[in-house]
Chains A and B, each alone.
Chain A
Amino acid sequence: MNQAMINSAVTLGQLQHKMDTTGHNLANMNTSGYKRRDVSFSDLLFQQVNNQTSQQYETGRQTPAGIRTGTGGAVAQTAVRFEQGSISQTGRDLDVAITEPGYYFELVPGENGERRFTRDGAFYLSPNPNNQAENFLVDRSGEYIQSQDGQPITIPGSFRDLRVSESGEIQVTLNDGENTEVTAGQLQLVSITKPQLLESHGGNYYGLPDLDELNLGIDDVLTETAGTQVFQQGALEMSNVDMAKEMNDMLQTQRGYQFNTRAISITDEMMGLVNNIR
């Protein structure tokens, strides 16, 4: 195929990837704790064409011999951007926002034992089937929220008031006629120092890659910082997607797409001319 056509065709596919990411960001504009992704482009391989091998004829030439033909552009990385989302007041007791970037709630590991983190602080209560007198603190999908000691957090079944302190301590006032105050647990908090290592697992969760392969220990990646004063009860962290930016990206991508399709049709017209020589 004509190299000019390959250039445009390759780039069309890559622009579509960019559009996919923009679409995904826009779709998650209202997902609490969602972190947007940024797409950046890079040029692709260059190949050398030696079109004039007799150097003595190449008078007035400034660049090294031959010509370098590129092969289009491609997505180089889709980096997650971890800047803080805006905090929205909900007034709901079980909504907890993290007010500083870099920190995450930790969930109790699932069946395969992987550590999972989230910024989504919309919690619910789920009854403990083995003990009628207590409830588990869970997230939207029913996964257990981890306490500082690595266990699921349990909340007494009958209470009148639940408070989450700034440092993540959960205190409840029991409905026992005497208003006894008990500490139900301490929310686990981790600070991820190499956030670009995090893998998105869907469902608003992040996980860690195979650290042995990267010659890293767990301490190189995260520190457990339970007790740090970053929690805010009755509020949720909104997604950090900026709609204006995404729309702007979308328009630019669409125009880029149009320019490249137009380039294809011009190249096609040239090939048609070749076909019509005779």
Chain B
Amino acid sequence: MLRGLHTTASAMIAQQRRQEMLTDNLANANTPGFKADQGSLRTFPNMLIQATGTDHSRRFGSNHVGELATGVYMQERTPDFTQGDIQETGNVTDLALLQGNVPVNEETGQAATLLYTVESDDGTIRYTRNGNFTVDGAGFLTTSQGNYVLDSEGERINTGNEQFTVNEWGEILTGPDQQPLTQLNVAIVPDPAQLVKEGNGLLRYEGEEPPVTAVNNDDAEYQIQQGFIERSNVDAARTMTEMMATLRSFEANQRMLQSYDKSMERAVNDVGRIG
């Protein structure tokens, strides 16, 4: 059958996947700490076309016609870990994490990223950049979804109430005389591409090199701002533009599909017609 039919169909599916990604980015334009996904499309593995039953090999010395790719698919969605805008909220439980200089992988040029550590429902460690925290009924500092925020010892943080101060390196001070309670943990994740989004603002790390703490670590600079949140880094205007381009690409492929269909129509109805 016509190979191009599958090529255009696969392109339509790939563009639909892109649209899914873009709508998800747009949906989270108001989610604090959200990192926009970027999609990469990749061509299917090439195949080698061989001529059979012709005199191709006599004329060209081989049966090989050449390589052909049969379409495209969406290979991966990579979150973009650039810093989002900082917005003042005035709430003591909002903590924005500002990333300064971080270690860069010399081989890939990929910069590490700084994240808060939180406890997932099953007790394992997750990471988040959403600093819109809250204090739960028992006095623990949690994310807005109720996951415990961890300190540099890996323990839950009990501030007791909402009267606490966080200084710029993440030390939590409580009480009338501002006694240090504990130190909020900030992790250096060496390979951010290995972070998998799990929903509820949580990221799971699947990399081999374990994250280390940025607390008292000269490798990474950071600053914590109390009363501020880091906004989503989704650019609505850019997302909208990409969406329009996606639609047009989808449309162009649909037209291609139709013209392939026309060719087939001719093959079915006109080839072999007499008179």
Q: Which A residues are within 8 Å of any B CB, using their own CB?
A: 2-5, 7-8, 10-11, 15, 18, 38, 40-46, 51-52, 57-58, 60-64, 67-73, 76-77, 79, 81, 83, 193-197, 209, 214-216, 252-253, 255-256, 259-260, 262-263, 266-267, 269-270, 273-274, 276-278
Contacts and interface: CB of A to CB of B under 8 A. Distances in A.
Given A40-B144, A64-B194, A7 B30 contact: no
B7 to A, nearest CB: 15
A193 B161 contact: yes
Contacts of A262: 240, 243
Contact of B28 (A43, A57, A196): A43
Contacts of A38: 89, 91
B27 A270 contact: no
Contacts of A71: 24, 199
B204 to A, nearest CB: 9
Contacts of A63: 76-78, 193-194, 196
Interface in B40-84: 42, 45, 73-78
Contacts of A61: 75-76
B89 A46 contact: no
B240 A270 contact: no
A194 B23 contact: no
A259 B26 contact: yes
Interface in B235-275: 236, 239-240, 243-244, 246-247, 250-251, 254, 257-258, 261
Contacts of B77: 63, 67-69
Given A58-B75, A81-B91, 9 more contacts: A5-B23, A51-B17, A64-B206, A68-B197, A73-B27, A73-B30, A73-B31, A196-B134, A215-B138
User: Which of A63, A68, A195 has the largest count of B CB atoms less than 10 A from its CB?
Assistant: A63
B148 interface: no
Contact of B139 (A45, A60, A194, A273): A194
A270 B229 CA distance: 36
B74 A51 contact: yes
A72 B27 contact: yes
Given A259-B29, A274-B254, A277-B254, A42 B23 contact: no
Contacts of B197: 43, 46, 68, 70
Given A69-B21, A274-B254, A46 B199 contact: yes
**Leading 4 A-B pairs by shortest Cβ distance:** A70-B24, A11-B27, A76-B144, A62-B193
B176 interface: no
Q: Most A CB atoms within 10 A — which of B12, B30, B91, B199?
A: B30
B113 interface: no
7 contacts: A11-B27, A83-B90, A197-B137, A252-B30, A256-B30, A256-B236, A277-B261
Contacts of B23: 4-5, 7-8, 72, 260, 263, 267
Contacts of A4: 16, 19-20, 22-23
A195 B134 CA distance: 11
B22 A263 contact: yes
Contacts of B130: 42
B90 A42 contact: no
A44 B202 CA distance: 10
A73 B28 contact: yes
